[in-house]
Structure 1
Amino acid sequence: MSVRVGSTRRGFLTVTGAAAALALAGDLPGVGQALAGATGRGDRRDPFTLGVASGDPLPDAVVIWTRLAPDPLTPFGGMNRRPVEVGWQVAEDPRFRRIVRQGTTQARPEASHTVHIDVRGLRPWREYWYRFRVNGKLSPVGRTRTAPAPNAVVDEMSLAFASCQAWWEGWYTAYADMAKREHDVVFFLGDYIYEFGIDRGIRPHSNEPWMTQQTVTLDEYRVRYASYKMDPDLQAAHASAPWVVTLDDHEVVDNWADEAHPSAPPAQFLVRRANAFRAYWEHMPLRLAQLPKGPDMQLYRRIKYGRLAEFSVLDTRQYRSDQAYGDGSKAPGPETKDPARSITGAAQEKWLLDGWAASPARWNVLAQQNALARLDVKEGPEVLVPMDTWDGYEASRNRILGAAYERKLRNLVSIGGDLHRSVASDLKLDFTNPDSPTVGTEFVGTSISSAMDGMDLDPGGVTLMKENPHIKFGNFQRGYVSCSITPQRWISDYRVVDKVSIPNGTVSTRAKLLVEDNRPGIQIL
């Protein structure tokens, strides 16, 4: 399916009308600025029911976030439709005896009373603590950390990455474990919410209207985010470290591709996409640079950790060609190999490769949504691969892995999600030839809760391991990945939960996987 992007987007405001244009406009006066505003008095309800978060660390800055929502599962979160003054503080200690930055801003109804403060003037590679104040009430305290100076020599850093947190399918025990580890940074790689209505669920209140109806309008997306962010373990993980986020499909609708989705004509789908993007930005610790302009949002960006690691955060939804052969798992063919088709779009691909050409980093990391490695899901000589992953966009994959090989890019590592299973692979220059050079390493993490308890290795996992010799590890339990990185080695610790169908399951390490500097390929410790 081919859609003319320019003509459809030019018609966006005509389709939505003036009221929608105002509701979805990119300019939100006062967001992130220190302005005086009206404050509500006498309201005894907790305005910080959705917790706090920080994100996108720079050497001298970090974004801190909260949303005022005393009644979070109602439109506007139970707030009056007027601006509210919010105080904020950043300190060098958790008791706020050494406050280094503070100010006031307005939480405005246009942004669902969210607050995004881009705190500048901080010191590189330092821990900080932050909090907010509204009408005499203090928020929970969050911990964050800035990135190192651009040319700093970093001896070690820690990160976690996660994806796919279907609220109704399990408890967020993995997040409780993640929060205790206090990583330097957390990457969330997509499917923060699920948009569809459900008719089942293991959690209490799974059958409430705010979970059983599909999200289409801006208010519906806002309530869906609020329902997820009320979870205390998710709040603890957000408050434990800065997050770097990107979205996948379910933040909008299952398996969307650019302007294409079978649920609606492109012009109508753009309205839904704009609603979804707006609610996403409102609920994530993102800068104003990521504020959507209608149905468009600039999400791909770089996060650098001195000379140790450079993270290229991708957006493989907004610019991709429609899925080949009608989606699903199909045999590779001329359409998957077509060089005119792309999963990133030409501009993002050029941005990525240009960045690699200039990278001084020891570890060059793709933080992206799904599996870059080939995934033959059919046992036997017939090959079937999923069209929604990089397998459906072979030319894109070949250009990126080919460029890494030709330029001798140092230590390419891909981290991904989406599969609801753990899959760790050697990235081959040619996946059809096991003797082909290994270009890099991929760690795909399982889901936080999506697909419920799972098992160590299901039949699908057995097939993947048998049919794909480049896959070195697989698992079908829930959890996340915790990584330790030094100049000499990268260790990925696959943390799994025995059961997410009950609260307080047991978290353990299922596998530790090692990659050594200048030696691509996985070693199992």
Structure 2
Amino acid sequence: MLLPRRRLFALGGAALVASVPASARAGGPVRSGFPFTLGVASGDPLLTGVLLWTRLAPRPLEPAGGLPPVPCPVSWQVAEDSGFRTVVRAGETVARPEYGHSVHLDVQGLRPGREYFYRFRSGGHLSPVGRTRTAPAKNASPDAMRFAIASCQAYGDGYYEAWRHLAGENLDLVFFLGDYIYEGAITSAGGSRMDATLKLPDTFELETDTLDLYRMRYALYRTDPDLQAAHAAGPWVLTWDDHEVQDNYAGGVPRFTTTPAADFLVRRANAYRAYWENQPLRPPRQPAGPDMSLYRRFRFGDLAHAYVLDTRQYRSDQACGDNLRAGCADRDDPRRTLLGAPQRDWLLEKMGRSPARWNLLAQQVMMAELRFGGPANRLDMDKWDGYTADRARILSLAGTMPGTVVLSGDIHYNYAADLRVRPEAPVVAVELVGTSITSGGDGSDRTPQLDMQMKFNPHLRLANAQRGYVRCELTRDRLRADFRVMSQVTKRGGSISTRASFVSERGRPGLVPA
């Protein structure tokens, strides 16, 4: 029986390798050129382990990365120093074609709270060196933790120089909060990058929906040297938002009603598969068809617990449509959910028993109420404003335990906000919303829309539309957040500066200027 085209692409490399004779599937070294064109990465640090990633792709903008459909051997080393004089772990693995020749190496037996360096070798080629770090021991009491939050890096909207600046920040961790790729067409010249030397294959002018197209889109993004530098500088903890699949999708519901649900789930399966292949995620996170468990918890001694959430896969469809609405009573329906009952109950149970001084919620969309002003006083139904029951449950719990910080992305603006269960109630938590790396172009410091938002939302402490990231330092009793912004991204040579800084005391939540 012939498979429909979309289902054929959903099988991807697995269908190809099945047709290769067993004798050829034994594999061999990479002989097609330098295979580490997509760099290296590490992520999801544990007390004694970390996930190391690379993907072999000597010709990255081709569907199979320029490799035949056979396994390729890869050796690896982890050392205590960047010169690899003290190697503490080493071994060999295989990059398999059914996984896009990606490598997901779960290295265990490391020491807690330590810096390490790693590299790969294949076919006589040596990869760039990456730096990573394990989490502190469970009973450790760290004095401080330095991390950044970032999101939304549309390739065609500008250069990734913000990543180069972030790579020099000497961070313990990066939280990436969604929209790693964008699914829409990219012109052959690369959009706003306007690089005369860049000529993309015509396939990049197609919207992503097949496994091959998603793989190629990740490969394009990962060829950027600034993004590679940020990955190599330290471990990342990632979650997705919508553009990794389709703008504003909700669970199994596509944005456009003309798309059959069955076809959309095939697309979601392709997208989730490519996401796992191209990120430093452990093998147990590998998707099963259109489903992938991404929510998880990380512990950093007794200083902080981080809860990484998925606000896309399990949500109810947006109330009253997925754009700005006023007077939408359906958003308060207690049966509607942003997280899904299992994830929400998991979060409330784990967070409710947390012994850590701080609890970080790393997630995608803005939690604070955001009224857009004017006579209609509209709210965005794609954000937590469209799912008030889930928000009330989480903020009610935050009110019983100090040190809750919500980390968000998605909206391409910088916001600093105090969180309350009700407008007249005390502050129970704070939210840091990071702007985009490039999405939306250069942006600006002030706009009439932002001025109106500051007027109609008294809990906002900052509203800014420049590009960049948020750098944070967490100590035993205080959070400091620096909103780092770029002067430009549509041209090279952008400088970075700190637009605003805020602090919040653990025992007295609320953002105040630093």
TM more than 0.5: yes
Pairwise CA distance, 1:423: 0.6
1:237 lines up with 2:230 in the alignment: yes
Q: Residue 324 of structure 2 aligns to which amino acid in structure 1?
A: S
Alpha-carbon distance between aligned partners in 1 of 2:427 and 2:261, rounded to the nearest angstrom: 40
Pairwise CA distance, 1:418: 0.6
Given the superposition, is the C-alpha separation of residues 271 and 318 from structure 1 closer, same or farther in structure 2, using an over 3 Å criterion? Answer: same
User: Does structure 2 conserve the Cα–Cα contact (< 8 Å) formed by 1:24 and 1:274?
Assistant: no
Q: Residue 228 of structure 2 aligns to which amino acid in structure 1?
A: Q
1:418 counterpart (410, 420, 429) = 410
1:503 lines up with 2:471 in the alignment: no
Pairwise CA distance, 1:202: 1.4
Pairwise CA distance, 1:40: 3.1
Alpha-carbon distance between aligned partners in 2 of 1:16 and 1:303, rounded to the nearest angstrom: 40
User: Does structure 2 conserve the Cα–Cα contact (< 8 Å) formed by 1:493 and 1:513?
Assistant: yes
User: Does structure 1 conserve the Cα–Cα contact (< 8 Å) formed by 2:473 and 2:479?
Assistant: yes
Pairwise CA distance, 1:207: 6.5
Pairwise CA distance, 1:378: 2.3
Q: Residue 28 of structure 2 aligns to which amino acid in structure 1?
A: T
1:446 lines up with 2:439 in the alignment: no
Q: Residue 97 of structure 1 aligns to which amino acid in structure 2?
A: R
Matches within 5 A, 1:245-394: 245-261=238-254, 262=256, 263-380=258-375, 382-394=376-388
User: Does structure 2 conserve the Cα–Cα contact (< 8 Å) formed by 1:143 and 1:241?
Assistant: yes
Pairwise CA distance, 1:80: 1.1
Q: Residue 449 of structure 1 aligns to which amino acid in structure 2?
A: T
Deviation by residue 1:98-121 (Cα, 9 ceiling, x = unmatched): 001111000010001000000000
Alpha-carbon distance between aligned partners in 1 of 2:327 and 2:213, rounded to the nearest angstrom: 38
2:29 counterpart (35, 40, 45) = 40
Deviates most, 504-513 or 57-66 = 504-513
Alpha-carbon distance between aligned partners in 2 of 1:218 and 1:468, rounded to the nearest angstrom: 42
Deviation by residue 1:11-37 (Cα, 9 ceiling, x = unmatched): xxx989985675498xx99xxxxxx95
Alpha-carbon distance between aligned partners in 1 of 2:240 and 2:276, rounded to the nearest angstrom: 10
Given the superposition, is the C-alpha separation of residues 345 and 24 from structure 1 closer, same or farther in structure 2, using an over 3 Å criterion? Answer: farther
Pairwise CA distance, 1:38: 2.5
The normalised TM-score by structure 2 is 0.94
**Secondary structure of the residue that 1:60 maps to in structure 2?**
coil
Given the superposition, is the C-alpha separation of residues 19 and 306 from structure 1 closer, same or farther in structure 2, using an over 3 Å criterion? Answer: same
Match in the other structure for 1:211: 204
Alpha-carbon distance between aligned partners in 2 of 1:19 and 1:221, rounded to the nearest angstrom: 14
RMSD of Structure 2 on Structure 1 (CA): 2.1
Alpha-carbon distance between aligned partners in 2 of 1:24 and 1:82, rounded to the nearest angstrom: 10
Q: Show structure 2 runs of 5+ residues with no match.
A: 19-24
**Residue identity (%):** 52
Pairwise CA distance, 1:334: 2.1
Match in the other structure for 1:59: 47
Match in the other structure for 2:61: 73
Deviates most, 361-370 or 263-272 = 263-272
Deviation by residue 1:46-104 (Cα, 9 ceiling, x = unmatched): 10000000000000000000000000000110011100000010000000000011110
Q: Residue 444 of structure 1 aligns to which amino acid in structure 2?
A: V
User: Does structure 1 conserve the Cα–Cα contact (< 8 Å) formed by 2:12 and 2:212?
Assistant: no
Alpha-carbon distance between aligned partners in 1 of 2:104 and 2:327, rounded to the nearest angstrom: 44
Q: Residue 82 of structure 1 aligns to which amino acid in structure 2?
A: V
Alpha-carbon distance between aligned partners in 1 of 2:432 and 2:263, rounded to the nearest angstrom: 36
User: Does structure 1 conserve the Cα–Cα contact (< 8 Å) formed by 2:75 and 2:90?
Assistant: yes
Matches within 5 A, 1:113-124: 113-124=101-112
**Secondary structure of the residue that 1:57 maps to in structure 2?**
coil
Q: Residue 230 of structure 1 aligns to which amino acid in structure 2?
A: T
User: Does structure 1 conserve the Cα–Cα contact (< 8 Å) formed by 2:13 and 2:97?
Assistant: no
Pairwise CA distance, 1:472: 0.6
Deviates most, 259-268 or 436-445 = 259-268
Q: Residue 110 of structure 1 aligns to which amino acid in structure 2?
A: E
The normalised TM-score by structure 1 is 0.92
Pairwise CA distance, 1:174: 0.8
Deviation by residue 1:469-507 (Cα, 9 ceiling, x = unmatched): 000111110000111110021101111000101112100
Alpha-carbon distance between aligned partners in 2 of 1:55 and 1:155, rounded to the nearest angstrom: 22
1:486 lines up with 2:475 in the alignment: yes
Q: Residue 213 of structure 1 aligns to which amino acid in structure 2?
A: L
User: Does structure 2 conserve the Cα–Cα contact (< 8 Å) formed by 1:87 and 1:104?
Assistant: yes
Q: Show structure 1 runs of 5+ residues with no match.
A: 1-13, 30-35
Deviation by residue 1:263-289 (Cα, 9 ceiling, x = unmatched): 512111000000000000000000012
Alpha-carbon distance between aligned partners in 2 of 1:447 and 1:42, rounded to the nearest angstrom: 38
Q: Residue 287 of structure 2 aligns to which amino acid in structure 1?
A: P
Given the superposition, is the C-alpha separation of residues 66 and 113 from structure 1 closer, same or farther in structure 2, using an over 3 Å criterion? Answer: same
Match in the other structure for 2:22: none
